Structure 1
Amino acid sequence: MLRTGAQYRDSIRDGRQVWIDGERVRDVTTHPAFKPIVDIRARIYDLAHESNTKPVMAYRDELTGEENCIGYKLPHNQEDWHAKRRAIDTVMRDINGYAVRVGDETVGEMWSLYDGRDILNEVDPQFSRNIENHIQHVLQSDTFHVSANTDPKGDRSKRPQDQDPDMLLHLVKETDKGIIVRGAKYETAAAYANQAFVKPTIANWGDDKLSDYALGFICDMGSPGLKHICRTGFTGRARPEDYPLSNRCDEVDTLLVFDDVLIPWENVLFYRHTKAAAFIRGTLHRYSAFPFTLRLLYIADLMLGAAAFNARQTGLDAQQAVREKLALLMQYRESIDAHLIASIAMAQKSPGGLLMPHQSLLYTGRHAAINQLPLMMQLARELCGGQICVTPDKATFDNPEIKTWMDKYYSVNEFWSAEDRRRLLAFARDLLNSDRAGHMVTFELFAQSPPYAQLNHIYMNFDMANALAYVKDCAGLSNRVMDQWKKK
């Protein structure tokens, strides 16, 4: 059943152990560092109940007759993907910003496991049933589902067994009730989510078929022994009028410490099985890369809109050099959109019978969007001009002793008052120059894998057959060269 925002807030008041800034948090729904993003997630739940947005945010399941969240619906056709995109667009427009970890983007990792049921069956058929049950559970309970991925690094020149074993999450022991795990993971939004899909990051298992570090499971974020140690938030550092994005949409990252946490057997998706772990690492972003890349489209729109407003208000958009830079931002924005559209137009059937975005097009678009993001931010800075780094705060504009001067020097014409210009410059500063702006760039590497891993995904998913056959025919090569390629 579709949750309300109030039901979501109640669900995370479960006594979970959360710390931020050295302080134990008693209620994440009211703590200043968490309340703005909790309110956004609650708002997303409420959008599915309001008459004007419900048709976009929810659908009625044909089998159960229940209304469910569009974002959590298994994708079987192109319209399912178009519906998901419309829902995300509705959310972004409503919250007046962008949020990345709200559930729709990480549930796709579960669908990748759904595609790997045959591999899970090699371990134990129960694990395959567990993934199907959890997909249905998330769908029917409207659970806020996130994904725990990156580990504390430790000394990566050593095997996990040759250093402190707790550096990487690992199996401690099996019990009748489930498995006991110990170690740590990093996860965005964990402190205010309901559950996380926890999986390994080790890519090279060597010849090992079994490993205590090859674990995949669902963990309740209020589990006994689980500790949430959060980074300092951007919310509350400065007034919302001066840093509107930082105070509105800060998604808090968490070090999850598993201090001998019990994972019930029904929540175990695979364990001690390196083939299953390798499979999920190779297909992890098969679906989730689409909503992640779509979020970059909204960042592109924010940069383009802020830069265009700044150029237009002073008439600089009439200059060819300015138009060229705006055109580059437009090109960046349109290239992201083109890859997203094409990946659905050319969508492929997955091994599990779902419809996945065209993998090569999706991964290529994702890498291009992230790789060019710092350059596009610099272009937007240039178009906004130096005033985003020298403009005083709102308190200065409001001071009656100097307000006359601020109004005089920040009013541009009859269309742009000093207050509108101050608001735009404050927004652009927060988007492009603030601590949060730098965090945004780095977060894309954390959330979507480092560039070398993204390039490997492109390599592994690109179909070389057409290019090779074309060169073979043009160069007059024998069929043996194609046979050699196929053997590799």
Structure 2
Amino acid sequence: MDITNARGAMTGDRYRESLDDGREVWLAGERVKNVAEHPAFRDTVEEFARLFDLRLSDPEARETSLFASPETGNPVSRSYALPTTAEELRAKFAAAEWWMRESWGQLGRSPDFMANVVVGLYDYRDELEKGRAGFGANAAAYHRYAMEHDLVLTHALGDPQIDRSASPLDDPDLALRVVEENERGVVIRGAKQLATLAPFSHEVLVYLNSVTAQRGAEEFVMWFALPMNAKGLKILCREPLGDRGNGHSHPLGRRFDEQDAMLFFDDVEIPWERLFLLGDSMLALRGLSRINAWSMQSTHIRFHERLRVFVSVAAMLAESIGVNGFRGIQEQVGELISYAETLRLGIVGAETSAQPTPGGLLAPAPSYGLGFWSADVSARVVEIVRRIGASGLIMQPTEADLANPELRPFLEKYMRGHDIDVDRKARLFRVAWELVGDGFGSRQELYEYLHRGDPGAGRTRLLRTYDRSYVDGRIAELISSPLSA
């Protein structure tokens, strides 16, 4: 893949321009002409543009999030770095911390996440090469290409919800499949969901195929990368969240609605150089944990930042209405803190327990259990903030209400807080409403539960892979003879 004209770290202007590439984005039955200019997408595009410019303009951000490419010398995202030492691994995750802090833990698919998936793809290159000659080299080349061009990526992993009781072997439209193989590559047909960040991304990675373990399902097994403007690719977006034009502020939803999309592949051709795996079910299954080793840590870091936001919002809500001295409220805020601290220690543990990979890199320790725990506690976190804010989360004045001289005396008298004026109290509660009450908050909570994969299936995998041998042996020895009285 060509990096001759690559310029490294993205700028805000380049990012805006890059989205006007002829991609076929659909919203509410109409095709979007330019994502960067469409009112439903513009604010999120501007937030990404701000973050890209901040990385280059702020010395501390630049030092944390960028490094010089060893091949071109261009400044490139540290999210694409290939760590081999503890120091390099710490620097890599310091960059993840920067991304998550700047986005308030609200961007589940920040560029850092998928860049780390590409690092995992690179790490798995030797096994991919054994699967089919050239595919491992493709993976290494794609990592270099994505890094040097600072690509923003999405992934599409789920199959359409048509009939989950049936098998794609009986109805091939139930899953994405290869319908033709030729000298240029393969042609694929079908659909994938849920491609978070799709309209804002440059390319999509597909590397999870639900029927990989079934015999005779080779046509459904493929790993590839594809530009979002590929011929035959249609991007169907869900309803936008955030500001709906009724005067209510949505500072989080307006900036961080990363969108989710259904991707329709209408006989799309994937060139050979963009294929990484084809038809090998077991190779795909073995690779999933390998390629997600670094992105999993990125997810933990993001959720930790989100928990920190919840802790502060909950505590400030309690203070604003004078209930922060109540024993029950203190216990609830303390519960939130316990979740944040547990996750922080888990993040540190995974990093400090890092081990070399077969691909020659250093990866954090597997932490699937921590991920499923996070999915479980997320709902409880939302519940606590709802209980503390109570009805105040629903009824708060808008900025227009606050500016109205006829309403102002009533607002100051009846909607102020405990040692906080009505303006700041209203804004605080509106931020809390976004986190736990409106469409944006509801989507974020559903995302937390789903995006790590099905928790039940994940726990079953933990059961199959957890090493019980040492303690099992001790217990077996203990019960091998009569127990003493």
CA distance in 2, matches of 1:95, 1:376: 19
1:313 counterpart letter in structure 2: S
The Cα of 1:459 is off from its aligned counterpart by: 3.0
1:345 aligns with 2:352: yes
Q: Which residue of 2 aligns with 1:153?
A: 161
Q: What are the equivalent positions in structure 2 for 1:126-141 lying under 5 Å apart?
A: 126-141=134-149
Paired position in structure 2 for 1:69 = 77
Counterpart amino acid of 2:445? V
1:168-209 CA distance string (max 9 Å, x none): 11111112211111111121111121111112331552334x
Q: How has the CA–CA distance of structure 1 residues 85 and 386 changed in structure 2, closer, same or farther, with 3 Å as cutoff?
A: farther
4+ residue stretches of structure 1 with deviation over 6 A? none
Kindly indicate whether the alpha-carbon contact (under 8 Å) linking 2:332 and 2:384 is maintained by their aligned counterparts in 1.
yes
In the alignment, structure 1 residue 468 sits paired with structure 2 residue 482: no
User: 1:119–1:275: 8 Å Cα contact kept in structure 2?
Assistant: no
Counterpart Cα distance in 2 of 1:282 and 1:137: 23
Distance 1:475 1:113, change over 3 A: farther
Partner of 1:176: 183
Select 2:214's aligned residue among 206, 209, 217: 206
1:237 and 2:244 matched: yes
Q: Write the deviation string for residues 273-306 of structure 1: whole angstroms up to 9, x where unpaired.
A: 2222222345453222111122211221121111
Q: Secondary structure at the match of 1:390?
A: coil
Q: 2:386 aligns with which of 381, 384, 391?
A: 381
1:307 aligns with 2:311: no
Long gaps (5+) in structure 1: 478-488
How far does residue 240 in structure 1 lie from its aligned partner after superposition? Answer: 7.0
Cα distance in 2 for partners of 1:110, 1:60 equals: 18
Give the aligned residue type for 1:397.
Answer: L
What are the superposed Cα offsets for residues 292-334 of structure 1, whole Å, 9 maximum, x if unpaired? 1222112211211111001123332222222111110110111
Counterparts in 2 of 1:206 and 1:88: CA distance versus 1, 3 Å: closer
Would you say the 8 A contact 2:185–2:270 is kept in 1? yes
What code does the residue aligned with 1:148 have?
A
- In structure 2, what is the equivalent of residue 400 of structure 1? 405
Normalised by the length of structure 2, the TM-score is 0.91
Q: Is this contact kept in 2: 1:203–1:278, CA < 8 A? A: no
Q: How does 1:17-56 map to 2 (within 5 A)?
A: 17-52=24-59, 53-56=61-64
> Partner residue of 1:481?
none
**d(CA) in 2 for partners of 1:18 and 1:257?**
11
**Preserved contact between residue 168 and residue 175 of structure 2 (Cα < 8 Å):** yes
In the TM superposition, what is the alpha-carbon distance from 1:421 to its structure 2 partner? 0.3
Out of 8, 11, 24, the position equivalent to 2:15 is 8
Secondary structure of 2:252's match?
A: helix
- Calculate the TM-score normalised by the size of structure 1: 0.91
Q: Is residue 200–residue 213 contact of structure 1 (8 Å, CA) maintained in 2?
A: no
Report if aligned partners of 2:97, 2:302 keep a CA contact under 8 Å in 1: no
Q: Partner amino acid for 2:380? A: L
**1:51-72 CA-partner distances (Å, limit 9, x unpaired):** 4221111012445433210111
Structure 1 283/240 Cα, relative in aligned 2: closer, same or farther at 3 Å? Answer: farther
Measure the CA separation in 2 of the matches of 1:248 and 1:340.
27
Q: Distance in 2 between matches of 1:269 and 1:97?
A: 31
Q: 1:114 to 1:363 in 2, by over 3 A?
A: same
Aligned-pair distance for 1:225?
Answer: 0.9
Q: 1:365 to 1:269 in 2, by over 3 A?
A: same
Give the C-alpha shift of residue 393 in structure 1. Answer: 3.1
Residue-by-residue CA offset, 1:421-476 (whole Å, 9 max, x unaligned): 00001111111111111111211233211111331343345332332344345445
Q: In the alignment, residue 431 of structure 1 is paired with which amino acid?
A: L
- The answer to whether the aligner puts 1:369 opposite 2:377 as a matched pair is no
Q: Give the residue type in structure 1 aligned to 2:207.
A: K
The one-letter code sitting in structure 2 at the alignment partner of 1:385 is A
Deviations 1:242-270 (A, max 9, x none): 32212121011111111111111100111
Distance 2:87 2:437 in 1: 38
CA contact (8 A) 1:151 1:167 kept: yes
Residue 89 of structure 1 and its aligned partner are, at CA, apart by 3.3
- 1:67-466, aligned counterparts within 5 Å? 67-95=75-103, 98-163=106-171, 165-186=172-193, 187-203=195-211, 205-208=213-216, 211-238=218-245, 241-359=248-366, 362-413=367-418, 415-466=419-470
1:136 partner amino acid: R
Deviation at 1:373, TM superposition (A): 0.8
- Structure 1 range deviating more: 68-77 or 338-347: 68-77
Hey, what's the Cα distance between the residues in 2 that align with 1:460 and 1:381?
37
User: Which residue of 2 is the match for residue 483 of structure 1?
Assistant: none
Structure 2 unpaired stretches of 5+: 1-7
SS in 2 for 1:99: coil
> CA-atom RMSD, angstroms?
2.1
Instruction: Say which is worse superposed, 324-333 or 79-88, in terms of deviation.
Output: 79-88
Shifted more, 327-336 versus 383-392: the winner is 383-392
Aligned 8 A contact 2:79 2:116 in 1:
no
- Is the CA contact 1:218–1:267 (under 8 Å) kept in the aligned structure 2? yes
Deviations 1:205-261 (A, max 9, x none): 2334x6111111111111011111100101332557532212121011111111111
Question: Tell me, what secondary structure is at the counterpart of 1:218?
Answer: strand
SS in 1 for 2:111: coil
Mapped partners of 2:456, 2:211: distance in 1: 13
Q: Which amino acid aligns with 1:395?
A: A
1:91-150 per-residue CA deviation (whole Å, 9 max, x = no partner) reads: 344445621212221233333333433432333220111001101111111111221211
Write the letter of the residue equivalent to 1:149: L
Letter matched to residue 371 of structure 1: D
